[in-house]
Structure formats: structure tokens, C-alpha cells
Amino acid sequence: MSVLEIKDLTVEFPSRRSVFVAVDDVTLNVEAGKILGVVGESGAGKSTVGNAVIGLLQEPGQISHGEVFLHGKRIDNLKDREKRRLRGRRIGMIFQDPLTSLDPLQTVESQLVETIRTHLPLSRKEARERAVDLIASVGIPDPRERIKQYPHQFSGGMRQRVVIALALCAEPELVIADEPTTALDVSIQAQILELMKRLCEERGVAMLVITHDMGVIAEITDHVAVMYRGRLVEYGETGQVLGAPGHPYTKSLISAVPRPDIKVERFPAVNYIEEAGTPQNQLDIATHWLGKTQNYENVVGPLVRIDDLSMRFETRGSIFPSRRKYFQAVKNVSFNIEEGETFGLVGESGSGKSTIARLITGLYQPSGGSILFGSTELTSLRNRADVLSMRRQMQMIFQDPYSSLNARMRVSDIVAEPIRFHRLASDNRQVRQIVDDLLDHVGLGAAAGRKFPHEFSGGQRQRISIARALATRPRFLICDEPTSALDVSIQAQILNLLKDLQEELGLTMLFISHDLAVIRQMCNRVGVMRHGELCEVAECDTLFEAPQHDYTRELLRLMPSMDLLSRANLETA
């Protein structure tokens, strides 16, 4: 008998004008000790299925048809009080962002003990011992000390381990994991996936994994369900679905996955799912404002030269210098970026990648070393006019487009702001024309300028960020994890767009990512960072085929296996 059975599930969200069908007639089942992956892009209905199972549908969402069974007993029609008893005790939940699912004001111990005592008849002492055992079982070292700490004192991967411990504390029969590894480093992701797989095998737990990451699906699932716009379009054993997909949507998803084995010029067009993303009116870049030759100095040699760059943060202040404590984020890093190339920085969280980006742009001041942009030493700039001139030549695209855009401004004003600030247009009419052209060129259309950021999807918001970055006609573009939280299909669109813009505008790029497959497709040369130090710099193909440093070899080894993915469909999707 299956642990979880979902029969003909339909979930609707009624409004005054219409009824939105988020899940349409979905049938699934999960057996003990097995992992079912539910995959699809944002809006496919994946999380809605998980929320319907656990009874956490947001109002006015409701199950309009179908049934949900746990070990043969129907649970979707239970009263709210009975559903609350079910959650945590028989069904555990692992959420995407551990910071939002943990109470920042309580220690890990108090949160675990409270959950254990809510569901199990144990004393506080017994509950604490069980909590320590759980923390140890999910691989957190020194559990008796670490359990006394608060969530903010753990890294992202360690916080996710705490969330897994919370989900398992009452020995549930079913665990629902909603995007459990999104934005985690490849090394941390590998640890979390191995932990989840081991728990299913050792404890016989059934697991429903909701994700848009095909690598996660290929790595740990036994069966996979592919969803598209609320409907189940393909369902079967993971090897069969990924190796010989039958539905065009599944083929499109696989075609959009970045390949770690070889480098391709462009990601294949995912026509089945790509509804937007091409300019409505092609611009003649040779004559248009966007492509006009700028009055920038000619550079002999690299455009960016970094020598012995160091950065430390004070972690404990004191009037006595000997009592101050520091964290060394960047240690004597040196590399060059040639004009017109894309240089990649890869490494786990805390390795110093983003700190280097902020040092180059002047957001941080280094504690040692030099940064040359052309012939200008950036660390010595003091005159405001010189600083602004340099900042106009370099722009940054951040990981989270929503937090980097002003939610109270219309998109047209967001894109126009740097144009007005640097006085790059003669009047408002020219500003409006430039903004319209930029929005059109990144595939949004001029009409998008009248809307606010919250009215767009994640991929569309990242296109707005790119348009804003291009508004100063920069020479150097820094991309800091620009696609890490995007669906695989949207990621492919954004990466293709960046490739096109670099070719058209002659941009030089620093591309920061922890996704090695993306780095392979985007970069000419790659630097590998660990604990603030640069371990290795090499041509992209050389790095992947003949890595020199042990840490680089370990990162490549930890990449999710893509052997199951059908490569025969890449050219036909």
C-alpha cells in the first residue's frame, strides 16, 4: 500500500470575476522509502499540491474535487483541528527558505523541544535528548553546543539541516520537501540530498520533493511527475522520464538544463514554454544610442587588474586594537579580466566571490591590494566626479531582482534613474525613448514601463535589472548569481540574453555563480575561490577537463549527475 495517494486532485482559487484552477485532476502516489519528484516551472502547481496534502492552502484556495489518502485513510476532509495533529506528527514539511520557517528569537533547542513535546509524550529532558540526537543525525557537528544557538548563527546549509531535523522530530510517515536546495552551494546541496536519500532508506520515510532543478530530480528521486500549468503531463520512473521523455514540455525542460560536459554557443530554444523574451522591434545597434562608441580610454592589456586584494571585516570592536577581532573575507587575490571576455568566479558561500564584486564597484574599501580599471587605480579615487565616471562604466546585476528594484517606482522610472543621474539624455523625451528601447531590447516591450516590479515574474524582473544596468552604456558588467533562483527555462532565456548583449555591445563581464554548469556555458576563463583565497585560474574547458586543485576536483565531483537526462532530445526540443 502507498503511504500517500492523491486521486484526481483539483484545487481552485475563486475570485469575484473568475475561478483560477491551480491544480487540475492530478493523480500521484508515494511508497514507503521512496522519493517522488514533482518538477515544473513556477506557477505549474507543484507547491499547491504539497500544500493541499498538508492542509495549508491559502485562502480562498480550496480542494474542489479529488481525494488525498495517508496509509489508506482519507485526510483532505478532516477538520482543521485534526489536520493540525497530522502536521508534524505524521507529515513533516521542509520549506524552501529555512530562515522564514525558523523562529529567529528562539534557540534551535527550544524549537525542537517544543515540536517534539507537542506530538510525543516525552518529558522536557527526554525531548532535549531526542533533539540532540536529531541534530547529530542530520550531520551537525558538536550537537550539544550547536543546539543552544539561534538560527542566524548557522550557515544556509546548516539551517536547512535544522529544518530537516524539525521535520523528522516526531518520526513522520511522509515528508514534503518544497525546493529544499534552491540557492545552496553545490557542496552543501550534495550533503543535503545525500542526507534526504539516506533518511528515506534507513527510516522508510516516503518523500515528496518539489523542485524546478532537474539535477535534484536526476540525483535522488525514484519516480518523477512533470507538471505544466496545473496539469500532470508526464509521470513514471525517473530513468524512463528523463532518459526518454514523451511530452514536448518535458523535452523543453531537459533542453534548457545547462550542460556541464560540453560548451554550447546558445541554449536551445525552448519554444514550448517560452512565451516572451525576444525584442518586438529589432534595433540597429550600430547606429542606435545603446551601441554608440563611448568616449572611454583605450586600454592596453587587461581591462581589470586585481593584485593582492584583501578585505577583512571587524567582528568585535574595542578601543584596544589588540582586543579587536576580524574575519578575513578575501586574502591576497590576484587575477586579470581581458576586455570583451567573461571571467567567472565560482566557489561556495563565504568564499569571497561577492565581496570581490563589491570591492571592484567601490561598495567596500579593501584593507590591502589594488584594483586597476584601465589605467585608473580605483582604491585611490577620492574626487566625486572621478568616482561617478568610473561607476558609470561598470554596473551590477544582483541575485534577487525584487530586492534590488524599488517597489514604489514604475519600471520606466527605475530604468530612467541612472540616465537622469548621469545626464546621458538631452531631455525627457529622449529619456523616454531610450527607456522604451531598452525594455524592448531585453524582451519586455515598452508597455512594461507603466507597471510596478511586483507585477512581473522573477525572470521578467531580472530583465528589468539588466535594462537598468545597460542604461549607462557600461563597459563592464558584474553578474552576481543572476539566475540562481530562476526556473531552468527562465534561466536559459536570461543567459541567452546576456550572451547576445555581450556580443552586440562588446561588454566585459565578471560572472559570479556557484552553479558550475552555468559557469561552463557563460565564461571564457574561471577562477575558483575557497575561504577567501583564489585556488585556481584556468581556461573554462581546461578547468572542467583537467582541474589542477583538489578543491576544484571536489566541486566537479559533487555536481548532480546528469547522466539520466536525454541528450538526444536537446536538438529537437
Convert the pLDDT of each residue in 350-387 to its tens digit.
Answer: 788 989 999 999 888 999 999 999 889 998 888 888 88
Helix (H, G, I), strand (E, B) or coil at 436: helix
Convert the pLDDT of each residue in 88-140 to its tens digit.
Answer: 889 988 887 777 788 999 999 999 999 999 888 999 999 999 999 988 888 78
311 vs 191, higher pLDDT: 311
Give the Cα separation of 396 and 398 in Å (integer): 6
| Torsion sign, CA atoms 125, 130, 132, 135 | negative
Lowest-confidence segment of 227-241, 472-486, 545-559 by average pLDDT: 472-486
Indicate the pairing of strand 508-513 with strand 476-480. Answer: parallel
Query: How confident is the model at residue 287, as a pLDDT?
Result: 65
pLDDT of 276 above 60: no
Query: How confident is the model at residue 570, as a pLDDT?
Result: 44
Query: How confident is the model at residue 572, as a pLDDT?
Result: 41
Measured in degrees and rounded to the nearest 5, phi and psi for residue 393 equal -80, -15
Question: In what side-by-side order are the strands of the sheet with 508-513?
Answer: 394-397, 476-480, 508-513, 342-346, 525-530, 533-539
Q: Which three cell numbers stand for residue 374?
A: 584601465
Q: Which of 233, 240, 90 is nearest to 167 (CA)?
A: 90
Helix (H, G, I), strand (E, B) or coil at 340: coil
Query: How confident is the model at residue 573, as a pLDDT?
Result: 40
**Per-residue CA distances from 223 to 29, 90, 124, 204, 434 (Å):** 10, 22, 40, 16, 49
What is the crossing angle of helices 488-505 and 458-470, to 10°? 10
At residue 269 the predicted structure's pLDDT band, cuts being 50, 70 and 90, is low
* Type of residue found at 532: G
**For residue 76, what are the contacts with CB-CB under 8 A and spacing of at least 6?**
52, 53, 55, 63, 66, 67, 68
- For residue 426, count other CB atoms closer than 10 A to its CB: 8
pLDDT of 416 above 80: yes
- Contact of 222 with 537, CB cutoff 8 Å: no
pLDDT of 141 above 70: yes
At residue 293 the predicted structure's pLDDT band, cuts being 50, 70 and 90, is low
pLDDT of 273 above 60: no
Convert the pLDDT of each residue in 227-246 to its tens digit.
Answer: 998 999 999 999 999 988 99
Measured in degrees and rounded to the nearest 5, phi and psi for residue 367 equal -90, -5
For residue 495, the Cα-to-chain-centroid distance in whole angstroms is 14
Give the Cα separation of 82 and 410 in Å (integer): 46
With pLDDT > 90 as the criterion, what percentage of the chain qualifies?
Answer: 40
Please give the angle made by the CA atoms of 471, 483 and 210, to the nearest 5 degrees. 145
Query: How confident is the model at residue 314, as a pLDDT?
Result: 82
Beta-ladder partners of 326: 314
**Per-residue CA distances from 9 to 50, 59, 244, 251, 440 (Å):** 11, 17, 27, 25, 40
Give the Cα separation of 214 and 561 in Å (integer): 10
User: Max Cα separation, the chain?
Assistant: 76
Does domain 324-558 match CATH 3.40.50.300? yes
pLDDT of 253 above 70: yes
With pLDDT > 70 as the criterion, what percentage of the chain qualifies?
Answer: 92
Q: What is the DSSP string of 487-515?
A: -HHHHHHHHHHHHHHHHHHT-EEEEEES-
At residue 270 the predicted structure's pLDDT band, cuts being 50, 70 and 90, is low
At residue 342 the predicted structure's pLDDT band, cuts being 50, 70 and 90, is very high
Give the Cα separation of 468 and 363 in Å (integer): 18
Q: Which of 66, 65, 4, 54 is nearest to 29 (CA)?
A: 4
pLDDT of 569 above 50: no
Q: Which three cell numbers stand for residue 69?
A: 489518502
Query: How confident is the model at residue 288, as a pLDDT?
Result: 66
Sorted by where each begins, the domain ranges of the chain are: 97-169, 324-558
- Contact of 164 with 195, CB cutoff 8 Å: yes
Place of cell 581556461: 539
**Per-residue CA distances from 488 to 11, 93, 211, 478, 483 (Å):** 25, 24, 10, 21, 9
Q: Which of 530, 531, 532 is nearest to 553 (CA)?
A: 530
Q: Which three cell numbers stand for residue 102?
A: 525558523
